[in-house]
Amino acid sequence: MEFKTVLSFCPYCGCGCGLLLEVLDGKIVGTLPSKTSPVNRGKLCVKGWTVHEFVTSPNRLTKPMVRKGDALQESSWDEALNLAAARLKEIKEKYGPDSIGVLTSAKCTNEENYVLQKFTRAAIGTNNIDHCARL
């Protein structure tokens, strides 16, 4: 058995509040504000307090999904990725790169967001990228 708290930082706004993730046997089970972080000194807003909830949320997708007709259906990585690549290519060729927009999330890691913006700007060729924290 192992219980520890791991110092991390709130992924949401630009404040950068220090928080402690409670980890019991390898699973994140709770959040506490870090008393020793100079930014927030032991205080958090409601989003910071509930950071652990999205990590283990039952609403998270576990399989890629493709819309067939009206409904979303479980699919394979190959099918989903091939479809996305083909359609994006098609739309870019027909309507131009600026007809595509990309929406990322504060719940993604910095690395994931870096890749997404690189993909949007270099691969697709548009500046149309934004992020939920800006809204």
Partner 1 sequence: MSAKIKEAIRTLLTEGKIKGFLGLREESGNIMPHLFCDPKELDHLSLGDWKKAGDARYPLNQLMIRLTMEYPEETFAVLVRGCDERGLKELFKWKQLNEEKIVLIGIGCPDELAKACECEKPFPDSLIDGPKGGKADSEKVARIETMDLDTRLQYWKAEFDRCIKCFGCRNVCPMCFCNECSLEEDQLVGTGEIPPDNPTFHLARAIHMVGRCIDCGLCEESCPADIPLRTLYKKVAEIISKEFGYKTGFSVDEKSPFNIIEVK
Single out the residue of 5, 113, 117, 128 in contact with partner 1 (rule: CB under 8 A): 5
**Cα angle at 17 between 13 and 18, to 5 degrees?**
140
Q: Quick check: 122 binds partner 1 (CB under 8 A)?
A: no
- Give whichever of 35 and 87 is closer to partner 1, judged by the CB atom: 35
Tokens encoding 24: 């019991």
Work out how close the CB of 110 gets to partner 1 at its nearest, in angstroms, rounded to a whole number.
20
Tokens encoding 66: 């493709």
For residue 131, the 8-state DSSP code is E
Site for partner 1 in 8-67 (CB under 8 A): 18, 20, 22, 24-25, 29-30, 32-37, 40, 42-46, 48-49
Secondary element (H or E) of residue 20: strand 18-24
Contact predicate 23/29, CB 8 Å: yes
Work out how close the CB of 60 gets to partner 1 at its nearest, in angstroms, rounded to a whole number.
22
Tokens encoding 112: 């994931």
Contact residues for partner 1, defined by CB under 8 A: 1-5, 7, 18, 20, 22, 24-25, 29-30, 32-37, 40, 42-46, 48-49
